[in-house]
Amino acid sequence: MSDKTQINARIVPNLWFDRDALQAAEHYIAAFGGNGRITGTTPAHPGAPSPQDVPMVVEFELDGQPFVGINGGPQFTFSEAVSLEVRVDGQEQLDRIWAALVEGGEEQPCGWLKDKYGLSWQITPTAYYDLMARGDAQANERLMNAVMATFGKFDVAALEAAHRSEDGR
């Protein structure tokens, strides 16, 4: 018999915004094709140092994953040290989600973007993981070189070609 206790826990990312948590949640829900919802808001507490004219907490879901947006004021900002990875099926889904999230933000290297709120996202095709799992060392090195050479969104066909051979055949 084990003396370890099973922990039934769920990780819920908490995202700190200056004052745009509700707008960000609505933006993310739209970016995921409406596959999400606002599940609750908490008004600002009069004694809290957060902005008083916006909800202090915005709870929302994206594709079933819960998130919390906190309007805490300008003292903390996002950095690339933490990013959210979205694994997508195919170029069409990648293009759609990329376009929605990068709007007002900026493209970054290696399939990353920073949205208009400063949050970093990785939009990664599932094909990348499939290729890495079945490739040999040389094929995987070519794939990684293609990833490292990418500025902005991934081109799935280009990643597949790089994995196949040095000249893309």
CA 90 – CA 82 distance, rounded (Å) = 24
- What are the pLDDT digits (tens) for 76-96? 999 999 999 999 999 999 999
In a domain, residue 136? The reply is yes
How large is the average pLDDT for residues 51-57? 92
In a domain, residue 108? The reply is yes
Which of 46, 76, 106 delimits the end of a domain? Answer: 76
Which of 76, 100, 117 delimits the end of a domain? Answer: 76
86 contact partners, CB below 8 Å, separation of at least 6: 97, 121, 122, 123, 124
- What are the pLDDT digits (tens) for 1-26? 455 777 778 899 999 999 999 999 99
Mean pLDDT across the chain: 93
> How many structural domains is the chain composed of?
2
Q: What is the pLDDT of residue 167?
A: 52
How large is the average pLDDT for residues 31-46? 95
| Cross-strand pairs, 17 | 71
- Same structural domain for residues 91 and 169? yes
- Same structural domain for residues 92 and 61? no
Question: Alpha helices of the chain — where are they, by DSSP H?
Answer: 21-31, 90-102, 126-134, 137-149, 156-164
